[in-house]
Chain A
Amino acid sequence: MSPNPRPSPTRLERAVLAMHGRPGPGYLLLLALCGGLVAWGAYAFYLLFTQGLQLTGLGRPVGWGNLICNFVFWVGIAHCGTLISAILFLFRARFRTAVYRVAEMMTVFAVMTAGLFPVFHLGRPWLAYWLMPYPNQRGLWINFRSPLVWDVFAVSTYLTVSVVFLLVGAAPDAAALRDATTGLRRRLYALLAFGWRGTDEQWRHYTRAYLFLAGFATPLVVSVHSVVSWDFAVSLLPGWHSSLFPPYFVAGAILSGVAMVITILVPLRRAFHLEDIITPHHLDMLSRLVVLTSLIVGYAYLTEFGLALPQPASDPERATFLYRATGHYAPFFWTMVTCNCVLPLLLLARRVRRAAWALVAVCVLINVGMWLERWVIIVTSLSHDRLPFAWRTYAPRWPEWALTFGALGWFFLLFLVGLKVLPPISIAEMKEAQAHAAAPSGTGTLAVEVSHVA
């Protein structure tokens, strides 16, 4: 597959500056839409704050519902950024250069979204600080043997490391933009550039530091969703208590994350005319990742059923899985299977991978399927426990939906604002790739375009 013609070095700066320019009506409309969703979610949170969790559909035995589904979903979305920026960096996958900054921004904003839901779910959110270990006059400490405390440490570490990784990666690009702008924007870029001047001394340390940060982020990304899966797996509930959960959750997280990256990239490249920077080759490679992780997820689904169904009829694990496939929530289950295992197979066809809007449609449906996967795992297991007299179906009420869609608006609101502040393309890495792709005869694209010598 031949990539599009290479953009010139200044084209990259111009593209980013154009994205950071005066917002158009489409941008403002999206911003208003997201703001409206956030306001709706904020109103629902106000009601939960003042009246408590009685406003939700939660009750015995279904104590975890939409809000926890959203937490797991957004942590999953957050995984792709680190996969693309850190893991593919360590594997020297060159296609990542054009897309990883968007994925990193997505990671940070998705973690900021995920972190809201445990607080919403607390019932008494003003006591959220009790989750952190701090000296207090009662001499009490948090219980480090609880996976919910592991979550606090894993997610807050993930947020911090993702922010560090994003800002370190963006510093050379911010320096390039700093030197090409004036006024307030110059000051903003100067702040993000951390005094970057691009000297060999700085690059020498930078390349090494970036490698170490990627080395730290790679096991972190695996650990975070493993920890999230342990929220379920260390319990004794049928459908949750499985050693399969960590790899299953990590693969699912990458599937949903990559699908979200494609969902964002396709409209972005169209809106800002980035077709020569984010090429069909990049989308093609991301699509292959979707297919790979979809196959892993499909294998995990089959394994779960393959382990449960041969058990005797009295086995609660078997009953739970049969309930998933044939009970009240069976439409959700089969939609999940279709979206996560069947639809991604369409991407095996090159024609679908190259048709940008078909790709987006598949990816949006994958994320619907991944959200339903969390629903199926969490709600079916709780609603159909070992004791038949306690069985109960759960239906979310409007405040839970308001928080769900409010979070969607919050995520895209952050992303839209981030697009105007951070360079969404890695200018430095793109230039390095261009320089090495150019002919060594010295007639490549790297013309020195500024004649003035300071």
Chain B
Amino acid sequence: MSPDPGVLAAFAEPHDAARAIRALREGGFDDVRAAMPAPYPEVLAAVGKPRSFMAFASLPGAAVGVCAGLALTIGTSLAWQLVTGGKPVVSMPPFVVISFELAILAGAISTLGALVGAGAWGGRRREFPRDPRFAVAGVGVYAAGGDPERAAEILRACGAVEVDDVQ
């Protein structure tokens, strides 16, 4: 899948890239994307996307883990009612330990699944021109759509090291 036509710029410094992204958005470019080797917070803030939905995967996952832990411990204890040390068959304190561990386990696995899924889905939805250098150094800024000459002008003004059209 090829990305939408646009203008790709390489920046040496993340704060220059962040400035360019803000300038592009103020200039009417709604679809501005970035690629970088590290999670530069100023660049992510400038792109202006809402907070990730990861919490909606992690927390339900953990809740499922709690329920699974309680169901497993209580259900199996009732299925085979072995009294140990005169304690109740359904002893909540030890069962909380199992539920806690399963909550962490399920929460972590659901987070991993959501991360892999979101990365794949987001990559298809907002394709970035393949450019291996942004995995190593610098920041790539891609203005998709709009007037390419105007975008190139803004990017150069903000300190882009290199600007190219992507068709």
Contacts and interface: CB of A to CB of B under 8 A. Distances in A.
B150 interface: no
B87, B111, B128 interface centre (most CB from chain A within 10 Å): B111
11 contacts: A140-B80, A154-B97, A160-B105, A196-B119, A197-B35, A198-B36, A198-B37, A201-B119, A432-B40, A453-B8, A454-B129
A362 to B, nearest CB: 34
Q: How large is the interface on B (under 10, 10 to 19, 20 to 34, 35 or more residues)?
A: 35 or more
Interface stretch (A65-73, A104-112, A141-149, A294-302): A141-149
Interface of B: 8, 10-16, 33-40, 43-44, 47, 49, 51-55, 58, 62, 72-73, 76-77, 79-80, 82, 84-85, 87, 91, 94-95, 97-98, 100-102, 104-105, 107-109, 111-112, 114-116, 118-120, 122-123, 125-126, 128-138, 159, 161-162, 164
A452 B76 contact: no
Contact of B52 (A133, A194, A197, A204): A204
Contacts of A450: 132-133, 136-137
A194 B53 CA distance: 19
Nearest to A432: B38
B13 A428 contact: no
Contacts of A153: 97-98, 101-102
Contacts of A22: none
A165 B107 CA distance: 12
Nearest to B8: A453
A202 interface: yes
Given A157-B102, A203-B44, A446-B137, A216 B107 contact: yes
Interface stretch (A119-127, A171-179, A364-372, A392-400): A171-179
Interface stretch (A55-63, A264-272, A412-420, A435-443): A435-443
Interface stretch (A36-44, A207-215, A324-332): A207-215
A446 B13 contact: yes
A341 B52 CA distance: 46
A305 interface: no
B37 A206 contact: no
Contacts of A216: 58, 62, 104, 107-108, 111
A3 interface: no
A157 B101 contact: yes
A133 B95 CA distance: 14
B29 to A, nearest CB: 14
A8 to B, nearest CB: 8
Contacts of B100: 219, 223
The 4 A-B residue pairs with the shortest CB-CB distance in the complex, in nearest-first order: A201-B122, A141-B76, A450-B133, A179-B132
A141 B79 contact: yes
Interface in A209-255: 209, 212-213, 216-217, 219-220, 223, 227
A453 B54 contact: no
A196 B123 CA distance: 9
A432 B39 contact: yes
Contact of B104 (A157, A227, A438): A157
Nearest to B94: A145
Contact of A164 (B40, B84, B109): B109
A149 to B, nearest CB: 8
B112 A168 contact: yes
Interface in A415-430: 427-429
